[in-house]
């Protein structure tokens, strides 16, 4: 399978899950906790690509966030009116940047493009915290650690991701405005506003 085929398959799986949740019956307790009128989705890397495609394909997803992911299929070039947050790592990725640059003018709704400074591609997953703890076992060369995990404080990176994703989904799924998404703030110097 190609990357584009994998993303299409995962996006179809997302639609299947939403269909199933809508058709019920839901397990005890979930029917009072799930709000299927306020569905948001985010993912890292190929999960981000899947998020962009599912957002394009399924109007039930009201907002999406791509964390350092590529774009494929119709999500890469089609107009999108629903909110999309693009969060990049500081890892030099001309392919990702070209994909995002192509999509940018097609985003007709709310959009932001942020960079988590001093980060690597894996700064958006658990590995940024786990690998340093297991470095004696993994024995990754220092240049690989820097390339994949960046040089920033992993705890600050996780906290910044949580703050911005929470603010984003609060705004677009709950209608709670926040200045955090309007401009850089000294509280989170790790986040650079690119657009």
Distance CA 61, CA 101 (A): 23
Give residue-wise pLDDT tens across range 172-182.
999 999 999 99
> Tens digits of per-residue pLDDT, 18-60?
999 998 888 888 877 888 999 999 999 999 999 999 999 999 9
Domain extent for 61: 3-193
- In this prediction, residue 141 carries a pLDDT of 79
The pTM score is 0.94
CATH code for the domain in which residue 97 is found: 3.40.50.1820
For the chain, how many structural domains are there in total?
Answer: 1
Average pLDDT over residues 140-149: 80
Residue pair 71/50 in contact (Cβ under 8 Å)? The answer is no
Arithmetic mean of pLDDT, 164-191: 97
Q: What is the pLDDT of residue 9?
A: 97
Mean pLDDT check: name the lowest of 41-55, 110-124, 126-140: 126-140
Mean pLDDT of all residues belonging to the chain: 93
How confident is the model at residue 132, as a pLDDT?
77
Query: What distance in Å separates the CA atoms of residue 43 and residue 21, rounded to the nearest whole number?
Result: 20
Residues in Cβ contact with 94 at an 8 Å cutoff, skipping those fewer than 6 apart: none
Q: Which of 173, 165, 178, 175 is nearest to 35 (CA)?
A: 173
The neighbour count for residue 193, using CB atoms within 10 Å, is 13
């Amino acid at each position: 399978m190609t990357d584009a085929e994998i993303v299409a398959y995962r996006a179809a799986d997302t639609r299947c899950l939403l269909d199933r949740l809508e058709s019920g019956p839901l397990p005890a307790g979930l029917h009072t906790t799930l709000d299927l009128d306020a569905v948001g989705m985010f993912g890292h890397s190929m999960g981000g690509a899947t998020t962009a495609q599912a957002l394009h394909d399924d109007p039930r997803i009201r907002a999406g966030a791509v964390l350092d992911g590529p774009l494929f299929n119709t999500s890469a070039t089609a107009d999108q009116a629903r909110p999309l947050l693009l969060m990049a790592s500081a890892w030099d990725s001309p392919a990702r940047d070209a994909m995002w640059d192509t999509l940018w003018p097609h985003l007709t709704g709310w959009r932001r493009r942020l960079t988590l400074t001093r980060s690597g591609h894996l700064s958006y997953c658990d590995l940024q915290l786990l690998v340093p703890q297991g470095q004696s076992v993994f024995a990754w060369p220092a240049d690989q650690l820097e390339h994949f995990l960046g040089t920033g404080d992993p705890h600050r990176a996780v906290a910044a991701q949580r703050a911005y994703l929470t603010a984003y989904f609060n705004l677009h799924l709950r209608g709670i405005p926040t200045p955090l998404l309007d401009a850089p703030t000294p509280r989170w110097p790790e986040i650079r506003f690119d657009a």
